[in-house]
Amino acid sequence: MSHQSELIATDIDAYLKQHEHKELLRFLTCGSVDDGKSTLIGKLLYETKMIYEDQLAAIQRDSAVHGTTGGEFDPALLTDGLKAEREQGITIDVAYRYFSTAKRKFIIADCPGHEQYTRNMATGASTCDLAIILIDARHGVMTQTKRHSFIVSLLGIKHVLVAVNKMDLVGYSQDVFDRIKQDYQDFATRLELVDQHFIPISALKGDNLVDRSANMPWYDGSTLMHHLENVHIASDRNLIDFRFPVQYVNRPNLDFRGFCGTIASGKITKGETVMALPSRKTSGVKSIVTYDGELDEAFSPQAVTITLADEIDVSRGDMLVRPDNVPQVAEAFDATIVWMTEEPLLAGKQYWFKQTSKLAAGAVSNLRYRIDVNTLHRQDADKLGLNEIGRCHVRLNQPIAFDGYRQNKGTGAFIVIDRMTNVTVGAGMILDRSAAGPRDHWDDEAAAGLQAEQSAVTAAERAGRFGHRPATILLTGLAGAGKTTTAYAVERKLFDMGRAACVLDGQNLRRGISRDLGFTIADRSENLRRGAEAAKLLNDAGLICLAAFLAPEEAVRQKAAEVIGRDRFLVVHLEAPIEVCRQRDQEGLYDKAERGEIGNYPGVSAPYEPPATPDLVLNTAELSVKECVQRIIKLLDERNVTSP
């Protein structure tokens, strides 16, 4: 497993050539405090013989003073090099280490586990192909584990290795490992973590790091080192969308004008036609020049100089692309921003935004919401503090060429710079609203030029005709709580009373105008938004609307209230215990969610937030449908809906 090779002694040139062409894997270790991240890296360096003898002797001496292993060799000291880190026994800054084996070269980023250093973790993860998320077998999935997993998902890292560490302290128990694996999978259903693997290890003892552990015969998977050497990352690179941000215009003499930069994605060949953005002028690739000579073809992430057949205007910050594959060019975009400084992000304040080689002034025109990284819930916010993450709308003073971060990290990422101090204060990922599936339209503005038309029938005339005021009653609760049954029973009662009412059922919407939606958190939000817009139209026509929606998020329900109008919006919470809901589940949806066949299922693999201030709470396990109807009718009477 060592980086050493027989070629070192026989043919050093052949060895260096072999080493040069090894594939490079960048990975990070993250997790909660004291989960063993630094110990794991130190042990890997030790096992692959990447520690010099004098360094090893120094670490052995320091282990007696600063170590946490009772005076024995402490591998964590190999990465915790700061004095404050050794004194406290924690990681503060991101520590980068390099090692290699016969198959691959590796660059490791050891990220801090403390919440206050979350920004450091985001920095370390930005260039990685794989994340090792460590979990202490004694404590299981912690809040910081979830926080780091969310950031890993946010930064688009496709490969996640969940290492359940310190198995020696729980007797190498398979039950403990299986429980932690299930807990993590339940949480991760709400994240975009495409490739997940779970390995039980003991970083200090070396179990399942390089060699299979005899202490865990029940585990038949690969070792951690085997996984690192063999995980497939070649297909992760975007070789389709050619993007070449120009970093420098090289004009050494009158006969040469080349455009220098690093290919952010895709590939280019000599003779191809390219387009310069934002001018949209086209030309052919005359040559691809490098220090070692000209190339016929270049690809990401090579640094090259491109010369063009025509004298078109191309400057630093411009981008060369293919004419038939063009990124978005705009002055405004939506992004997720990680804030990295004590002074908060304020909407409207001017900053520098650096994306690829382009530097533009601009501001966050709208802070849509802050993301609670512990629960993944959205929170209203007017600013972002240190280590906080938010969804923002950014507006610049000039257009830039960009892709969504999920599609292209090179052109979808940017940093935010303070204009007074030149300090990097934030990092952002541009959201691809065209390719990310169903969009969050709550804050969208109507198309320009549209005018609201007014009906010739007044609200008072409608109330006089129908004998009631318009209102929307949102019946919310877990699946199986009785929302639809209760809604139709109330509709029947109101009809018998001579009132004009109708049911707007979330499931029925999915059979028609929401048939394009799935069941992710964003999809559920969009389904309720469409329902709220429909309910508003029904209310404008004078009807009482009984809206039966699961609507699991309080923030989204509040947005629905704003759309419909708080003066005619009532919330009825059907508070049935989940055991009762399971018994009523004739389709077996809860069982499918338990088995992982259905993701993001409220009450099982996703949270349900009860309404904070409902107008009425009904326990449908104790109340009959008739009693529920009576109480809702009483509520409508008390709020002067049925008797205006």
Tokens coding 200: 């039980």
What is the DSSP code string of 110-162?
Answer: E---SGGGHHHHHHHHTT-SEEEEEEETTT-S-HHHHHHHHHHHHTT--EEEE
Range 464-476 average pLDDT: 94
What is the pLDDT at residue 83?
Answer: 40
Quickly state the pLDDT bin for 57 (edges 50, 70, 90).
Answer: low
Tokens coding 163: 């290492």
Quickly state the pLDDT bin for 136 (edges 50, 70, 90).
Answer: very high
Domain 460-638, CATH: 3.40.50.300
d(CA 295, CA 289): 6
E-assigned strands of 340-402?
345-346, 350-355, 358-372, 377-379, 383-384, 389-402
In CATH, the architecture of 7-233 is: 3-Layer(aba) Sandwich (3.40)
Contacts of 485 (CB under 8 A, 6+ apart): 625
Tell me the sheet residues that pair with 245: 319
Which one has a higher pLDDT value, 81 or 495?
Answer: 495
Count of CB atoms within 10 A of residue 464's CB? 11
Which one has a higher pLDDT value, 616 or 643?
Answer: 616
Specify whether the CB–CB gap between 221 and 230 falls below 8 A: no
Please check the confidence at residue 249 and state whether its pLDDT lies above 90.
yes
Please check the confidence at residue 225 and state whether its pLDDT lies above 80.
yes
Range 242-249 average pLDDT: 94
Range 138-152 average pLDDT: 86
What is the pLDDT at residue 91?
Answer: 40
Residue 105: half-sphere exposure toward Cβ, Cα within 13 Å: 10
Which one has a higher pLDDT value, 224 or 380?
Answer: 224
Q: State pLDDT tens for residues 584-615.
A: 988 888 887 777 666 668 888 778 889 989 99
Quickly state the pLDDT bin for 4 (edges 50, 70, 90).
Answer: low
Specify whether the CB–CB gap between 638 and 473 falls below 8 A: no
What is the pLDDT at residue 587?
Answer: 80
Tokens coding 295: 């190339």
What is the pLDDT at residue 596?
Answer: 61
Tell me the sheet residues that pair with 199: 163
DSSP 30: E
Tell me the sheet residues that pair with 471: 544
Specify whether the CB–CB gap between 165 and 76 falls below 8 A: no
Which residues belong to CATH 2.40.30.10 in the chain?
A: 243-321, 328-430
d(CA 199, CA 219): 8
d(CA 113, CA 93): 10
Domain 328-430, CATH: 2.40.30.10
643 phi and psi angles, rounded to 5 deg: -135, 75
Average pLDDT, the chain: 84
What is the pLDDT at residue 437?
Answer: 44
Asked whether the bond before 301 is cis by omega within 30 degrees of 0, the reply is: yes
Range 129-145 average pLDDT: 89
Which one has a higher pLDDT value, 440 or 559?
Answer: 559
Range 88-109 average pLDDT: 69
Please check the confidence at residue 5 and state whether its pLDDT lies above 70.
no
Contacts of 559 (CB under 8 A, 6+ apart): 442, 529, 532
Pick the range with the lowest mean pLDDT from 78-87, 380-389, 512-521, 611-620. 78-87
Which one has a higher pLDDT value, 274 or 372?
Answer: 274
Which one has a higher pLDDT value, 436 or 151?
Answer: 151
Q: State pLDDT tens for residues 160-189.
A: 999 999 999 999 999 999 999 999 988 888
If you search the block for the tokens 């030029």, which residue do you land on?
A: 449
CATH H-level, domain 243-321: superfamily: Translation factors (2.40.30.10)
Please check the confidence at residue 120 and state whether its pLDDT lies above 80.
no
Q: What is the dihedral of CA 305, 311, 316, 318, to 10 degrees?
A: -100
| 389-402 and 358-372 beta bridge pairing | antiparallel
Task: Identify which of 297, 305, 208, 317 has the alpha carbon closest to the alpha carbon of residue 262.
Answer: 305
Contacts of 587 (CB under 8 A, 6+ apart): none
What is the pLDDT at residue 85?
Answer: 39
**Burial level of 435, CB count in 10 A (0-12/13-18/19+)?**
exposed
Q: Is 413 helix (H, G, I), strand (E, B) or coil?
A: strand
For the chain, what percentages of helix, strand and coil (3-state, to nearest 5) are there?
Answer: 30, 30, 40
DSSP 608: -
d(CA 258, CA 277): 16
Pick the range with the lowest mean pLDDT from 27-36, 130-139, 181-190, 303-312. 27-36
Specify whether the CB–CB gap between 563 and 536 falls below 8 A: yes
Quickly state the pLDDT bin for 54 (edges 50, 70, 90).
Answer: low
Percent of residues, the chain, with pLDDT higher than 70: 84
Specify whether the CB–CB gap between 413 and 590 falls below 8 A: no
pTM attached to this predicted model: 0.60
Contacts of 147 (CB under 8 A, 6+ apart): 115, 118, 373, 374
Count of CB atoms within 10 A of residue 102's CB? 13
Quickly state the pLDDT bin for 94 (edges 50, 70, 90).
Answer: low
- Inter-axis angle of helices 143-154 and 174-188, nearest 10: 50
